[in-house]
Amino acid sequence: MEIPYTVTTRRDTGLNNGKIGIWLFLASEVMLFGALFASYILIRTGAQTWPRGDTVLNVPLATVNTIVLISSSVTMVMAWASLMRHRFETFRIYMGITILCGLAFLVIKFFEYSHHFEEGLYPRSDNFHAIYFTLTGLHGLHVIFGMAVNAWLWGPGSKLWKTNPVWFTNRVENSGLFWHFVDLVWIFLFPTLYLL
Amino acid sequence: MTSDHAVEAVADHHAADIDRHVRIYITVFVALMVLTIVTVAVSRFHLPVPIAVSVALLVAIIKGSLVACYFMHLISEKRLIYAVLTLTVIFFAVLLALPVLSYHDGFWMR
């Protein structure tokens, strides 16, 4: 049975089902990260002492990661815009850069984590590192998931462009919404953990 | 105007619209980069915690709004999405308010 309203929009909402689905999912994601931010506030306000992020974390590396992730958001939206202009090859270039930026983000995060582990700092070490590893770890998993979806759309999933370009463009837009959300979470994580 | 010409005219209009969007994306990208530098620069001043938190959150909210409005196209979205997000924002605010209330010692014991 064919999935309804993947290309056409529903008359009652003016949206296709994929877009409603991804926004409902993102709403649940807001609550997931919201719960962790609330935990962070609770733990920090209740602690007698709390280290400033820039005294224990690597701010230059995190700044580079912020720039990398923001750049990937731009290339993601440019990939979608390329499909809207029916330029498939340009789409693949932008989507490829987006995936590489995601990879660069993870490599930098790997170096950061390695440095902490070398210093004997783990989630169990103290409250700061517990919340730091939990928030950045969950965010990192989202980056991996987003990269996997984007890689599928860049590779095997792109066959759909030949048979149903509108559906494929909608899929890229929805994947982009998730990717921008991942960027948005980092925009708040960066100052909260590293700079305050 | 023949139907072929009409289709081409619509396609040209559509292309011009996307070009306009692309220019906005690049402008937003530059703004996000500048704001990232501002965030890091302000943190170097070692301001008192309440002011530092306020400034950092204000800049983060501006950056987040730019991403949501322009990259996620929320500036021109359908009502159903706004309704879903309004509910989300309300619940999110309640979620963040809970630990803030607990900051006042014994609030939940009353």
pLDDT digit string (tens) for A148-162? 999 999 999 999 999
Share of chain A above pLDDT 70, in %: 100
Q: How far apart are CA A88 and CA A128, in angstroms?
A: 46
Boundaries of domain holding B35: 1-75
Q: Is B16 on the interface with A (CB under 8 A)?
A: no
What total of structural domains would you count in chain B? 2
Nearest Cα of chain B lies from the Cα of A44 at a distance, in angstroms, of 10
Asked, for residue A123, whether it belongs to a domain, the answer is: yes
CATH number of residue A149's parent domain: 1.20.120.80
Task: Say yes or no: B14 and B42 in one domain.
Answer: yes
What total of structural domains would you count in chain A? 1
Task: Say yes or no: B12 and B56 in one domain.
Answer: yes
Task: Label each residue of B59-94 as H, E or C.
Answer: HHHHHHHHHHHHHCCHHHCCHHHHHHHHHHHHHHHH
Boundaries of domain holding A46: 17-195
Between chains, do A84 and B96 touch, taking CB under 8 Å as contact? no
Across A166-187, average pLDDT:
97
ipTM, two decimals: 0.93
Please report the sign of the dihedral spanned by the C-alpha atoms of residue B13, residue A150, residue A154, residue A159. Answer: negative
Task: Say yes or no: B57 and B89 in one domain.
Answer: no
Task: Say yes or no: B98 and B54 in one domain.
Answer: no
Task: Say yes or no: B31 and B59 in one domain.
Answer: yes
Is residue A124 very low, low, confident or very high in pLDDT (cuts 50, 70, 90)?
Answer: very high
Task: Say yes or no: B50 and B103 in one domain.
Answer: no
Can you read off the two tokens belonging to residue A135? 């928030």
Asked, for residue A7, whether it belongs to a domain, the answer is: no
User: What is the pLDDT at residue A24?
Assistant: 97
Task: Say yes or no: B5 and B38 in one domain.
Answer: yes
Task: Say yes or no: B71 and B91 in one domain.
Answer: no
User: Nearest by CB to A70, which of B26, B32, B57?
Assistant: B32
User: What is the pLDDT at residue B16?
Assistant: 84
Is residue A129 very low, low, confident or very high in pLDDT (cuts 50, 70, 90)?
Answer: very high
Asked, for residue A5, whether it belongs to a domain, the answer is: no
Task: Give residues 33 to 62 of A whose Cβ lies within 8 Å of B.
Answer: 34-35, 37-39, 41-42, 45-46, 54, 59
| A193, A136 contact by CB (below 8 A) | yes
Task: Say yes or no: B56 and B89 in one domain.
Answer: no
Task: Say yes or no: B81 and B71 in one domain.
Answer: no
Q: Is A78 on the interface with B (CB under 8 A)?
A: yes
| A173, A80 contact by CB (below 8 A) | yes
Q: How far apart are CA B12 and CA B51, in angstroms?
A: 50
Q: Is A19 on the interface with B (CB under 8 A)?
A: yes
Q: How far apart are CA B85 and CA A80, in angstroms?
A: 23
Asked, for residue A3, whether it belongs to a domain, the answer is: no
Query: From first to last of its 110 residues, what are the pLDDT tens digits of chain B?
Result: 455 665 566 566 677 888 999 999 999 999 999 999 999 999 899 888 889 999 999 999 999 999 999 999 999 999 999 999 999 999 999 998 887 777 666 666 65
| A17, A3 contact by CB (below 8 A) | yes
The CA–CA distances, whole Å, from A181 to A1, A27, A35, A170, A196 equal 32, 10, 16, 17, 22
Task: Say yes or no: B54 and B12 in one domain.
Answer: yes
